[in-house]
Amino acid sequence: MCGDHSLYHDYLLEAVSRWQETDLKSSATWLADIYKTYGDMPGARPSIPLLRGMFDLFYPNNVAGLEQVYKDWHRAWGGLDRWGYEKFLKLYATAGDVQAVRGLWKRYVASYPELLTRARAFRSTMNVYAQVGDAAGAERELRLMKDKYGVRPDLDMWNILLKCYARTDDYQRVVSCFEEICKMYRPDSYTYAHVMTMAAKKGDLEATLAFFHRAQRDKVALSKEIAMSLVTVCCQNDRLLDAERILTELAARGVTSTGIWNQLINFNGKQGRLKKCYELLQLMKSFNVAWDHQTHEFLLRALVKVNQVHPAYRLLRSAIQEKVFPVGPEHFAIVMAGAARTGDFSLVEMVAAQLARAYESADFNAHTALMDAAFHKAPTSHRTRGMGKELIDMLRAMRDRRQEGDMSIAPVAGDLTALRKQTKHIGRAIRLLVELRDFSSAEELANLYAGVMGKHGQGEPLPPEVVSALMLGYLKDRKYRQIHKMWARTLDGVLARSRRQLGAAVFPAHQYDLARPLLVVARAFRQQNNGEGLLECIRRITAAGFKLTRSNWNLVVQYLAEMGQWEPAMEWCEKMLMPRWRGWRPPRRSLHERRLLQNTRVLQASRAAVLSLQRQWLKLRKLAAWSPAVSAKLAQVERLYPRLHHAFVTTDYESLTRVWEGSGGGGVGHTSLRRAAAELLRPFSHKELRAMEKSLVRRQKSDSKARLERKTAGFEAAQTRAHDAQAPAQARARAKRAREAKRKRDEAANPQEITIAIP
């Protein structure tokens, strides 16, 4: 029976039919394995209904399965039918593969030339340019459709052009295109969804709600795409409870999808709200919303975010063994990156071995995590440096495939969104090469990344993590001019991309874009001892509307205090960091609080930052008795910065010593307690220091002898007290024993008569 392909065919056809009725994602992996076994049988010829069903089963994530369906269709039937052409054109267009769409479209219209009179025939050729954000290509395709083929673009074509403008983040062109559509047609739900998606992606709450209310007035049906925009904009503005309320209300009406729930799980996971992620998973079940591979991906990210790496690994392992969901390289990479961050390098290698067995081609993000583990274990080994070269080879292969435009269905062939996801850890990879002081490879990797993004990615500024890694390389070589030049260029680019049209504020989605590069530029200012430059830099970016993370603020406060900018540092520390200050010896945090602090956007002062401010305050206290002005300034400090003042006056010596010793050498220009003692003794001569040493040794011996004598005397006194306490009891016992002995002697000397009574 195992060799009877007809039985396999009938079983697959029935199983796919039931899957389409129930839409159970978990069964997709099992059916994929059975279909592969069926395809390897001699004489197997899948029918058109089975091929269509397997396409729906594999679309859009199972790339290997889709390629197998494509080959089987041509092998069994010589080519695609109309349904097959349109589905595979949609697949290639979604992947952004322009060359593949062009080649397949020519065969499509050659087989069905009558379709050239309909606008629908040009949908994929338009959509492929929209996916890659090529506005010029989409406009050219629209003109070609009108001028060459005489086809009037319908509302769907204009919606695709609107989506293309939204992909390029060109707000003005999106609005003008939207208004032009309103003049020609009645906008539908897709029209509003595209314009709302652009605003929601930036976190523009006002614009998103304005378009939504306009859609309500136009009586446009509420679609899943519009619901996604509403949830996304709430999440971008850190209004997760509002997003959950909207999502549950819409789900009760039947307007929901797995992708919308995934979005909310993703944002909660980024903030360390693991418990909330579990609650959302249960809500999905209650609304009969299926989990997919991305749901599990975001759950893995949430687990890794709060250092729950081993539970994440167990989830991944069970998914592989029990085929709970289709496991991709991205799932392996998440667990590997988390294990590398927590120092569990053996787990990194274990997961890497499983990834190598599951997939032939290596994954860039997973290989970066493997290199991270190797760097921490053996940074100077040839294997570690060889991994850096392998990363370059991987990225070069991506670039070559993109430039050649092969017919592979894999999204790496063109979709910029997929490319960014597959190279998510590019900043970490460049930073590792910088730490290895392999600056030429780091620069080559950055250039290759720009090449992989293509001509449409080159006009955009590099990601912040890439910029910060390159700036770190300049910092290690003390090339401060290049650092400040790159910082200025990055600041201008981010401002142009993220600033609102009206007003000086930036969109919420971009408020933390400068956080990573700022860490490096702050260190550069500190090494140059340029406190005024750092102060002006912070004032400029905060005035523009950007926000700083906990690491940013603590580092900036510490550096400003060390470089003479004490009062601005006090003001920022009191306002931004001290509200969550819990004292020098706080009680242990709850699990929920510890997980929330994994989010670097939660602000709290560090001990090092508070101590750097306290040093200047202590200097002022020494001078207060001699200067009324200094006394007035101290009173002003107590009035303006009450939390900091309370921290200053409640500092204990043990905390002070621990922080100074623990952070010695950790920051630029930071003085440890040992170094401070050396500076104190520097003015004394060698003879004086020797005399001090002898005196201290004699005093130490004398103190030790005195402590020993006190200890001995105390021990003897304790013994005496114990003996005195026991003496009365011992005397009574001796007297009792003497009386008993005397009685026995008397009885022996005068024996008693024995009297027997006789009846």
- Write out pLDDT tens, residues 716-750: 666 666 555 565 666 667 777 777 776 666 655 55
- Whether the pLDDT of residue 414 is over 50: the answer is no
Backbone φ, ψ for residue 476 (5° rounding): -65, -30
What span, in angstroms and rounded, lies between the C-alpha atoms of 456 and 145? 23
Please state, rounded to an integer, the average pLDDT across all residues of the chain: 85
Determine the pLDDT at residue 488.
94
What span, in angstroms and rounded, lies between the C-alpha atoms of 480 and 1? 74
- Whether the pLDDT of residue 162 is over 90: the answer is yes
Average pLDDT over residues 16-26: 69
- The interaxial angle of helices 27-39 and 63-77, nearest 10 deg, is 40
Between CA 393 and CA 399, with CA 397 as vertex, the angle to 5 degrees is 115
Q: If 0-12 CB within 10 Å is exposed, 13-18 middle and 19+ buried, where does residue 585 land? A: exposed
What span, in angstroms and rounded, lies between the C-alpha atoms of 252 and 134? 38
Q: H or E stretch including 411?
A: none
Q: If 0-12 CB within 10 Å is exposed, 13-18 middle and 19+ buried, where does residue 365 land? A: buried
Question: Burial code of 209-243, b = ≥16 C-beta within 10 A, e = fewer?
Answer: bebbebbeeeebebbbbbbbbbbbbbbbbeebebb
Q: H or E stretch including 745?
A: helix 686-749
More confident residue, 670 or 734: 734
Determine the pLDDT at residue 654.
52
Backbone φ, ψ for residue 207 (5° rounding): -65, -40
- Whether the pLDDT of residue 363 is over 90: the answer is no
Determine the pLDDT at residue 739.
74
Most confident of 48-52, 592-596, 745-749: 48-52
Q: Are 347 and 337 in contact (CB under 8 A)?
A: no
Banded pLDDT at 714 (limits 50, 70, 90): low
Determine the pLDDT at residue 666.
41
Q: If 0-12 CB within 10 Å is exposed, 13-18 middle and 19+ buried, where does residue 396 land? A: middle
Average pLDDT over residues 145-157: 91
Domain boundaries, the chain: 186-291, 312-460, 686-722
Determine the pLDDT at residue 280.
96
Residue 120: both structure tokens together: 């629908």
- Whether the pLDDT of residue 713 is over 50: the answer is yes
Determine the pLDDT at residue 292.
87
Q: Which of 16-30, 148-162, 657-671, 724-738 has the lowest mean pLDDT?
A: 657-671
As a dihedral over the C-alpha atoms of residue 497, residue 499, residue 500, residue 502, rounded to 10 degrees, the angle is -130
What span, in angstroms and rounded, lies between the C-alpha atoms of 297 and 316? 10
Average pLDDT over residues 27-39: 79
Determine the pLDDT at residue 620.
87
Which candidate, 233, 242, 160, 235, places its Cα nearest to that of 201? 233
Residue 686: CB atoms within 10 Å: 7
pLDDT in tens, 527-558: 999 999 999 999 999 999 999 999 999 999 99
- Whether the pLDDT of residue 754 is over 90: the answer is no
pTM of the model: 0.79
- Whether the pLDDT of residue 13 is over 70: the answer is yes
Instruction: Give the contacts of 708 (CB within 8 A, at least 6 positions apart).
Output: none
- Whether the pLDDT of residue 670 is over 50: the answer is no
- Whether the pLDDT of residue 376 is over 90: the answer is no
pLDDT in tens, 245-287: 999 999 999 999 999 999 999 999 999 999 999 999 999 999 9
Determine the pLDDT at residue 653.
55
Between CA 62 and CA 68, with CA 67 as vertex, the angle to 5 degrees is 100
Average pLDDT over residues 134-139: 90
Determine the pLDDT at residue 194.
93
Average pLDDT over residues 349-358: 89
Residue 129: CB atoms within 10 Å: 27
Determine the pLDDT at residue 421.
80
Quick one: what percent of the chain has pLDDT higher than 70?
86
Which candidate, 472, 506, 513, 467, places its Cα nearest to that of 489? 467
Residue 756: both structure tokens together: 């027997």
Determine the pLDDT at residue 746.
63
Determine the pLDDT at residue 490.
92
Determine the pLDDT at residue 172.
84
Residues of the chain by 3-state class (helix, strand, coil), percent to 5: 75, 0, 25
E strands within 595-634? none
SS3 43: coil
- Whether the pLDDT of residue 426 is over 50: the answer is yes
Question: What is the rounded end-to-end Cα distance, in angstroms, of the chain?
Answer: 113
Q: Are 446 and 430 in contact (CB under 8 A)?
A: yes
Which candidate, 510, 524, 525, 516, places its Cα nearest to that of 469? 516
- The interaxial angle of helices 135-147 and 123-132, nearest 10 deg, is 160
Most confident of 201-205, 275-279, 459-463, 649-653: 275-279
Banded pLDDT at 1 (limits 50, 70, 90): very low
Determine the pLDDT at residue 623.
85
Average pLDDT over residues 109-132: 91
pLDDT in tens, 575-591: 999 999 988 888 888 88
- Whether the pLDDT of residue 33 is over 80: the answer is yes
Which candidate, 414, 451, 422, places its Cα nearest to that of 101? 414
Peptide bond into 60 cis (omega under 30): yes
